[in-house]
Structure 1
Amino acid sequence: MKKQKKRNVIVGQSGGPTAAINSSLAGVYRTAKERGYNKVYGMIHGVQGLLQERYIDLSKHIQTGLDEELLKRTPAAYLGSCRYKLPEIHEDQKTFEKIFRILDDLEIDCFIYIGGNDSMDTIKKLSDYALVFGSKIRFIGCPKTIDNDLALTDHTPGYGSAAKYIGTSVKEVIRDSWSLETEHGQVIVVEIMGRNAGWLTGASALSKGEDCDGPDAIYLPEVPFDMKKFLDHTRELLQKKASVVICVSEGIKTADGKYVTEEEGSPVYTDAFGHKQLAGTAAYLCRRVSEEIGCKTRAIEFSSLQRAASHFVSRIDILEAYEVGGAAMKAADEGYSGQMAVIIRTSDDPYQAGTEVKDVHKIANDEKLVPRDWINKEGNNVTDRFVSYVRPLIQGDVQPIMVDGIPRHLYVPGFQEMM
C-alpha cells in the first residue's frame, strides 16, 4: 500500500500575547518540517485573518537556525492575534464553509491554534464541523495564556515568564518604597492582570525572601473583596510600618459579583466573548485609601509589560512552550483531532514534566481557578503551597540576542500593511 503524501500545515495565534507564544510557534514549525510536511502556513491575526485569506508561508521567513532562535526570544504574537468568536455551527454554517474551502484550497492536513480558553473554543467548533461533514483535516490546540487558567494542564506556557517578571518587579517596587520617608506613611497598590483567576497576582509572593518581606497583602478574584476589611487591614499595616505594598488582581469582585471598578458606574467595554475590559482597580483603591485613611498613595499597573518582557523570561517556560508546540504538531500528525496538548507535572523537586493530549471539549470555555486552600483564611495572601507550585516554573534565564545594546526580534516584513 502506497503511503499517502503529506501535504501542508497551518498555524495561528489567538488571544492575549505572551513572552513565550512564539516559542510554541517555533516548535510547531520545526516539528512539521521534521515530519515531512511540505509547507507551514501562518495565519495573519488568527482565524479572523484566515477568513480574509491573510496568511504567509513561514518557510520564507524562518530560513535559518538563527531565525528560529530569534523567534523563540521574540515577545507578542509574531503572526498577529485576534479575539474573534466563531459563531455556533447551526447559527452560521456559511462561515465554516468558507474556512474549510480556504483550508482545502491550501491543501491543509493539520490546523494548529495557539491560544487560551477562547481559542480552544475555536478548535472545538472546527473539529466538530470536520467530524460532522467528513473533513479529514485534524484540529489541535496548543495552550498559551499568562492567566494560567486552562483546565486539564498543570500550567500554561507564558505563565512562568509572567510570574518571573511579576515576582521580580514587585520586589523592586518594595525596595523602592523603602527609600523615602513619608510623614503619614504611604500605600502602594500594584494592579496585576487576572480577570477571574489570581495565578498572576499570587506570583507576587515570589518576591519574598531573606532580603525582602514580600507584599504586605495579596488579593485574588477567587475570594470576594470586602472594602471595609481591606481598609481596616491597611490601617493596621500602617501602624506597623511606614510603607505598605499591596498586590491586587484587576478582576477582584465584591460579594455580589461586581468588579470593584464598577462601583464608580463608568462604562465598561466588552469584547466579542463577553469579557469586560478591566483597568483602574489600583487607582480606585488608592483613591479610597487616600479618602478614608489620609496617607500618600501610589497606583502601579504592570499592564502589558508582564506579558511582553522577553528580556526576562523563564528558561523552563521557553523550553516547555517549544515542546508543547511540537507535541501539538506531533498529535495532529498522528491522527488526533479535537484535542489540546497539555503539560503534566510528575515531580516538584526535582521539577519534572511531560506532555499529553486531552479532549478540547473538556477544556474550552472552562476556567481553572486558584484552589481556595492555596489562599490564606483571611483571603489577603497566598499560602506556601501556591509558592511551591509556581517557583519551579520561573527557573533559568534565556538571554536576548542583543544588537547595539537592545534585544533583536524576528518580525514579518510589511506586517502592518497586512492588517
Structure 2
Amino acid sequence: MPSRQPVQGKLLYAQSGGVTAVINATAAGVIEAARARGVKAYAARNGILGALHEDLIDTSKESKSAITALRHTPGGAFGSCRYKLKSLDDNRAEYERLIEVFRAHDIRWFLYNGGNDSADTALKLSQIGKTLGYDIRCIGVPKTVDNDLAVTDCCPGFGSVAKYTAISTLEASLDVASMAETSTKVFILEVMGRHAGWIAAAAGLAGEGADAPPHLILFPENVFDEAAFLAKVKATVERVGWCTVVASEGIRNAEGRFLAEAGTRDAFGHSQLGGVAPVLAALVKDKLGYKYHWALPDYLQRSARHAASQVDAEQAYAVGKAAVEYALAGMNSVMPVIVRTSDAPYRWKIEPAPLAKVANREKKMPKGFISRDGFGITAAARRYLAPLIAGEAPLPYGKDGLPRYVRLKNAGVPTRLPAFGR
C-alpha cells in the first residue's frame, strides 16, 4: 500500500493549450495519486501563466467527490492558456521567475499537461533548475486532440475526438442520404488537424466500402488537387446519389498555402485558419452545381464528453497517475507514454519516455494509413484507430436531463513574492 505519511515538498500541476474532453481525468489521476502518497498538490491557474504570476490553486481544499467528478467533466478545471515560453537565451527571466515561485512554495515536482510545446517547456525547466541549483523534477503529461505527439502510441484526448468525429460523420450522412433526392447532395464536415490528419482519418471509421460515408477524406499530408476532388465528388453523387466529405482544416494547395488561410497567428506562432469547409462548398456549387451543407464543429470536437471513448478516459487517468509515480520516484524530464502491446484484443501499458524524444517533434500519419487514391483510410489505419474509440464512458445525469459536471472551488494559495514584471 502507498504511504500516507506527508512527503516533503509540494507538487504543481498545470494544463496547457487546447483542452480535451478527458484532460480533467488526467487531473484527477494526478491529484488522487498525490493524495495517496501524502503529497500536497497545487494547480496553476490558467496554465503556465498561473505559475509565472504565482497564481496557484490549493487542490487540498476540494472534496474527494469533487476530484472524482473531474473524471467525467470536460474543459480545463484549473484553466489553460496558449502561451509559449521563449528559449532560455531569449527570455531567461521567465524561467528564473518560475524557479523563484517553485522555491517560495517548496514545489519539488512540476507536471505539465500538454502537447509538443509543453513537453519542450518541461524539458527546459528541468534544465534551468539544475543551472540555478534548485531540485525540481519536471514531468510532461501527454494531451492533444491532434494525436501528433512522438513516441506515444496515441495521445489522451484523441480517442474521444475520434469517436465524436466518427459518430458525427455517420449520423450526418444518414441525414443527407434521406434528403438527397430533392435537397442536399454534398455534405462537408471540417475537422481539426493543422498538419496531421489523425482526426480526419478517424471519420473513416464511420463506414467501409466505396459507397459508405465518408466518401472522401482530405488529409493535410496530401496536396489538395482540385480537379481530382471535384471528379471524385461528381462520380460519388452519380453513383450513390449523395456524397459526404470530411476535410482537415490544414489541407494545402500545390503552392503550400492553406486553403483556409486567415492571415493571423496564435500565441504559438501557428497560422489561424478561417474555415476550409466553406471554401470547398463554394467549389462544389460553382463547378458542379450541387446543393450542399457544411459544418464546423470546432470546440464541439474536443468538449464532447458525452461521446467520450472509454479507452481514452482510462488512458487519460492512467498517464496522470503514472506522472506522479514517476516524479516521486525521482525521475526527471520524462513523459508517461502509451505503449500498445496488442491490436486484437487491444492491450496497452504506460512507460516513461525521455522528454527530449517528444519535445517539438510532430508525428504525422504513416503513408500506409492513407488509401492509394488519397481519399480514404487503409485496413492498417482501421486496425490502429478502431480500438481507440471503443467503449462508452457514462455520465451522471441530473433531473434536468443534463450531465452533472463539477465546478471546483479553486481556492487560491497566498502569494509570497512581488508581482512578476514590476
Q: Give the letter aligned to residue 7 of structure 1.
A: G
Cα shift at 1:119: 1.1
Partner secondary structure for residue 277 of structure 2:
helix
2:14: which partner in 1?
Answer: 12
1:21: which partner in 2?
Answer: 23
2:173: which partner in 1?
Answer: 174
2:74: which partner in 1?
Answer: 75
Greater mean alpha carbon deviation, residues 362-371 or residues 268-277: 268-277
CA deviation map 1:170-215 (0-9, x unaligned): 10011001111445861111101100001001000111169x8221
Aligned ranges for residues 99-178 of structure 1 at < 5 Å? 99-178=98-177
CA deviation map 1:386-416 (0-9, x unaligned): 111011111111211111211011113479x
2:359: which partner in 1?
Answer: 364
Q: Give the letter aligned to residue 24 of structure 1.
A: T
1:54: which partner in 2?
Answer: 55
Counterpart Cα distance in 1 of 2:55 and 2:249: 34
2:258: which partner in 1?
Answer: 259
Counterparts in 2 of 1:208 and 1:221: CA distance versus 1, 3 Å? same
1:324 aligns with 2:319: yes
Counterpart Cα distance in 2 of 1:351 and 1:295: 42
Cα shift at 1:338: 1.1
Counterpart Cα distance in 2 of 1:5 and 1:208: 52
Count of residues in correspondence between the two structures: 405
Does the Cα contact within 8 Å between 1:185 and 1:238 map onto a contact in 2?
A: no
1:40 aligns with 2:41: yes
CA deviation map 1:55-101 (0-9, x unaligned): 1101112x12x323310101011111111111211222221111111
Q: Percent identity over the alignment?
A: 38
2:220: which partner in 1?
Answer: 221
Counterpart Cα distance in 1 of 2:51 and 2:223: 41
Of 260, 263, 284, the residue aligned with 2:279 is 284
Does the Cα contact within 8 Å between 1:6 and 1:36 map onto a contact in 2?
A: no
Gapped regions of structure 2 (runs ≥ 5): 412-422
Counterpart Cα distance in 2 of 1:4 and 1:294: 70
Deviating beyond 2 angstroms after TM superposition, the runs of 4 or more aligned structure 1 residues are 3-6, 131-134, 181-185, 412-415
Pairwise CA RMSD: 1.7
Q: Give the letter aligned to residue 242 of structure 1.
A: G
Partner secondary structure for residue 269 of structure 1:
strand
Cα shift at 1:333: 0.7
Partner secondary structure for residue 259 of structure 1:
coil
CA deviation map 1:253-282 (0-9, x unaligned): 1222211123xxxx4220122111223101
Q: Give the letter aligned to residue 70 of structure 1.
A: A
Cα shift at 1:300: 1.0
Counterparts in 2 of 1:377 and 1:181: CA distance versus 1, 3 Å? closer
Of 312, 324, 344, the residue aligned with 1:349 is 344
The TM-score normalised by the length of structure 2 is 0.93
Cα shift at 1:146: 0.9
Partner secondary structure for residue 240 of structure 1:
helix
Counterpart Cα distance in 1 of 2:208 and 2:234: 24
Does the Cα contact within 8 Å between 2:334 and 2:352 map onto a contact in 1?
A: yes
Partner secondary structure for residue 260 of structure 1:
coil
Counterpart Cα distance in 1 of 2:235 and 2:213: 17
Partner secondary structure for residue 95 of structure 2:
helix
Partner secondary structure for residue 251 of structure 1:
coil
The TM-score normalised by the length of structure 1 is 0.93
Q: Give the letter aligned to residue 57 of structure 2.
A: I
CA deviation map 1:342-400 (0-9, x unaligned): 00110011111111111111111111001011101121111111111011111111211
2:331: which partner in 1?
Answer: 336
2:205: which partner in 1?
Answer: 206
CA deviation map 1:4-33 (0-9, x unaligned): 942210000001110110011111111111
1:308: which partner in 2?
Answer: 303
